[in-house]
Amino acid sequence: MADRTYSFSTRIRNVDGGAINDILKASADPSIISLAGGNPASELFPGRELAEIASDLLTNQPALTLQYSVAQGYAPLREAVLKMIAERDDIIPRGDDIIITSGSQQGMDFAAKCLLNEGDKVLVENPSFLGALGCFMGYGAQLVGVDMESDGISVEGLQKALEENDGVKLLYTIPNFQNPTGITMSTEKRREVYRLCAEHGVLIIEDNPYGELTFTGEKKPSLKSMDTEGIVIYCGSFSKILAPGIRVGYIVAPAQIVKHMAEAKQANDTHSPMITQLMVYEYLKRHDIGENIQRMRNLYRRKCKLMTDEADAFFPTSVTHTNPGGGLFVWCDMGGDYDTIQVYNECIRHKVAFVPGAPFMADPSKRCSAFRLNYSTMPDEKITAGMRTLGSALKQIMG
């Protein structure tokens, strides 16, 4: 029976999480120093406050907390989120609506389901977030990579991609502290990117999980705040500012798109759990989430500096790295013809893991000289030890 072959859909056969899953699985081994993941620091989760809230809800409002609800999400939470992002990102709904999703990842998946036909093209920053690439490919989209520069996506590259490709439906971008590079798009580029997409009738998915994790407090205008044309699908999340395990995110997008996304959500999980939505809602009401965010900024700023200082001290000088102004990741590049899989194989022998760059690329089959490091998960001494092991491996391979 185990040998029976099943005929799977073409869309799911496009998806291959193989290599990266093996890496993430390896790095779940507690004896490994993992600079591979993207987990927020669990020591900052407000467990005690959420315990009190959950207990209150289940004791005093069991029917609300445990009964079926609506696909679009708990209405008071929707309002609270709209208020929050109006203040934070200048996002004033103009013909927009909001849906609560189980993480912003789920919002992207439903947007993709509603918008993409097989063979449609999606422009992605090259490199970009793996989870998003997998989600677009899961609906049969073709990815077209546009190179990243130190101040965000290449505008020339974007223009060229828009001109040279038929059937471009979407641009997917993470303007703030991008995953995997840590790069932030400049304000000028944001205006240019918006203008070009509007001109070509291409929708923009603006994914902003890390925007609040700024080290300096500086913020650049969201693409959604410029959205006079109704082309931006804005994705936000509580994963990086409260806790990821509760899976609460949201999408603000033109009402017609949200309507179809709510149908997709109805068919998928009916609605996000009430307990998690209510926990977020009550947390926002009872506590100052800004204080929590400030603690994260302080911690990640310090850990990021620790990591980049170690890179400066122990990596070969020809290996470059980004200097993120926020977020969770540093992107390093050996340059030349190197393949970071080699470095990975050497490091994992010494029980240090990171993610080689290839899977983040629109074409993951090409060899890649870059790799991603995460500084939010490991304690300081493991970051130090891991960076030194990595430095030795790089030196050994680069001669």
Looking at 152, 180, 209, 244, which residue binds a second copy (CB under 8 A)? 244
- Report if residue 168 touches a second copy, rule: CB under 8 A: no
- Report if residue 103 touches a second copy, rule: CB under 8 A: yes
User: According to CB under 8 A, which residues from 34 to 63 bind a second copy?
Assistant: 37, 39-40, 42-43, 45, 47-48, 50-52, 54-59, 62-63
Stretches 188-196, 205-213, 252-260, 350-358: which one binds a second copy (CB under 8 A)? 252-260
- Report if residue 65 touches a second copy, rule: CB under 8 A: yes
- Report if residue 272 touches a second copy, rule: CB under 8 A: yes
Looking at 105, 128, 308, 384, which residue binds a second copy (CB under 8 A)? 105
Q: If binding means CB under 8 A, how many residues of this protein chain bind a second copy?
A: 84
26 to each of 34, 37, 349, 355, 367, how far by Cα in Å?
9, 11, 11, 11, 21
User: According to CB under 8 A, which residues from 129 to 148 bind a second copy?
Assistant: 131, 134-135, 138-139
Q: What is the DSSP string of 60-96?
A: H-HHHHHS---TT--HHHHHHHHHHHHHHH----SSE
- Distance (Å, rounded) from C-alpha 370 to C-alpha 358? 8
Looking at 76, 221, 273, 391, which residue binds a second copy (CB under 8 A)? 273
Least spacing, CB of residue 354 vs a second copy, in Å: 17
Phi/psi at 254 (nearest 5 deg)? -50, 140
Contacts of 83 (CB under 8 A, 6+ apart): none
Count CB-CB contacts under 10 A for residue 381.
Answer: 9
User: According to CB under 8 A, which residues from 370 to 389 bind a second copy?
Assistant: none
Count CB-CB contacts under 10 A for residue 290.
Answer: 11
Contacts of 154 (CB under 8 A, 6+ apart): 146, 147, 148
Stretches 7-15, 216-224, 292-300, 381-389: which one binds a second copy (CB under 8 A)? 7-15
- Report if residue 93 touches a second copy, rule: CB under 8 A: no
- How much helix, strand and coil, in percent to the nearest 5, is found in the chain? 45, 15, 35
